[in-house]
Amino acid sequence: MPIFDIFLLEAIINGLLLGGILALLALGLNLIFGVIDVVWICYAEMIMIGMYTVYYTHNVYGWPLWLAFIAAVALVAVMGVILHQFVIRPVLAAEPINQLLVTGGVLFFLQAAATLAFGVEFRNIGVQLPQLQLGEMYFSFSRLVAFLVALAGMIGVYLFLKKTFLGTAIRAISQDRAIMPLMGVNPNRIFLTTSALGGGLAGLAACLLVLQYDIHPAIGLSFGPITFMVCVLGGLGNMVGGFIAAFIFAQFISVGGFFLHSEWGYVLAFLFFIGVMFWRPQGILGGK
């Protein structure tokens, strides 16, 4: 029985660390939704591009890892700007659902383009971080790093939104999209900044994920849906809610996977999500 408990504790702590990554994934998406009112269905595919960027700059061109990370963050941020300017902007006035679907088209495009350009082989950057041992429990060091970076990223975004002039403008426009232009704020500039920031966060997530997972063109599908669920569960656009929801989800996946098979952990998490939607359709922290 005591051994059982230690493994359970290990699962819970690993779930906590996984929650950090999910929270970071949800952060960028929530930021974009909160400000622009658009869900980037292709968000996970942008992370996939970021992961390939790290792989190619680091393993093929031999850049140092930190430079490769900066390149990935910068590239995905630029992609975010391009996505907004050329894909989202033309449909901003159309039916809301068109904005969701148009990024779904981008999902197909990025996934297939990655297959075309990089092939379907699994790639690994070959950087192994050590396992951490605590008593009889083992934790992945890369998960711990990811957790801490995710936490730092969230604090950074929070401070940016609260303390800077631009951040204040972003918060203002997310509260009333119609009035802010009258106050002399150029909404498109704010949207582009937000897109760049959201893209940058996706790039940051890519840097952390690349330490733990192999890269392949369809990897986005394996954590894309879970990211949307986290955001919706927390209340779309609600960053604190997303943060809490990420940890709830991660516990379901980790502890559920401990008692059953890992897929069942996901199934439980999704079913829990559907259940909560009926109880609080606006998300756990969403206002009425």
Partner 1 sequence: MAANLRWIVIVALALAPLSAMGNYPLHLLILCLLWVFAYTGWAIMGRLGLVSLGHGAFFGIGAYVVVMAWNHWGLSPWMGLPLALAVAALIAFLIGYPCFRFKIVGHYFALVTLALSEVTRLIIVALRDQTGGSLGVTPTTALQQADYSLWAMQFPSKLVWFYVVFACWLAGLWIWTRVDRSMARLALQAISQEEDAAASVGMSVTRLKLGITMISALVTCAAGVLYAQYQQYVNPETVSGIGISLQMVFGAIAGGMFVRFGPTVGAAFTLLLAEGLRLALGHDIHGLDTTLYGLMLVLFIIFLPKGILGAAEEALEKRAAPTTRAAAPS
- When asked if residue 271 is in the footprint of partner 1 (CB under 8 A), the reply is yes
Pick from 67, 112, 132, 183 the residue near partner 1 by CB under 8 A.
112
CA–CA distance, 50 with 174 (Å, rounded to integer): 27
* Nearest approach, Cβ of residue 183 and partner 1 (Å): 27
Of 4 and 86, nearer to partner 1 (C-beta) is 86
- When asked if residue 188 is in the footprint of partner 1 (CB under 8 A), the reply is no
Beta bridge partners, 131, equal 140
User: Mind giving me the DSSP string for 30-55?
Assistant: HHHHHHH----TTHHHHHHHHHHHHH
- When asked if residue 214 is in the footprint of partner 1 (CB under 8 A), the reply is no
Of 165 and 279, nearer to partner 1 (C-beta) is 279
Helix (H, G, I), strand (E, B) or coil at 119: coil
Q: How many residues bind partner 1 (CB under 8 A)?
A: 47
Best CA proximity match to 203, nearest among 54, 32, 13, 30: 54
Angle at 101 between CA 116 and CA 121, to 5 degrees: 20
CA–CA distance, 151 with 157 (Å, rounded to integer): 10
* Nearest approach, Cβ of residue 192 and partner 1 (Å): 18
Say if strands 131-134 and 137-140 run parallel, antiparallel, or are unpaired. antiparallel
Tokens for 151, please give them: 């936490």
Q: Compute CA 166 distance to the chain's CA centroid, rounded to the nearest angstrom.
A: 22
CA–CA distance, 119 with 216 (Å, rounded to integer): 8
Pick from 2, 3, 5, 95 the residue near partner 1 by CB under 8 A.
95
Pick from 7, 8, 64, 98 the residue near partner 1 by CB under 8 A.
98
Query: Near partner 1 by CB under 8 A, which window of 12-20, 58-66, 170-178, 277-285?
Result: 277-285
Give the chain's length: 288
- When asked if residue 106 is in the footprint of partner 1 (CB under 8 A), the reply is yes
Site for partner 1 in 116-145 (CB under 8 A): 116, 119-120
What is the 8-class DSSP label of residue 123? B
Of 42 and 71, nearer to partner 1 (C-beta) is 42
Query: Near partner 1 by CB under 8 A, which window of 19-27, 50-58, 151-159, 270-278?
Result: 270-278
The pattern of x and - marking residues 224 through 263 that bind partner 1 according to CB under 8 A reads: xx--xx--x---x------------------------x-x
Instruction: Compute how many other C-beta atoms are within 10 angstroms of the C-beta atom of residue 267.
Output: 15
Which residues lie near partner 1 (CB under 8 A)?
39, 87, 90-91, 94-98, 100-102, 104-116, 119-120, 217, 221, 224-225, 228-229, 232, 236, 261, 263-264, 266-267, 270-271, 273-274, 277-278, 281
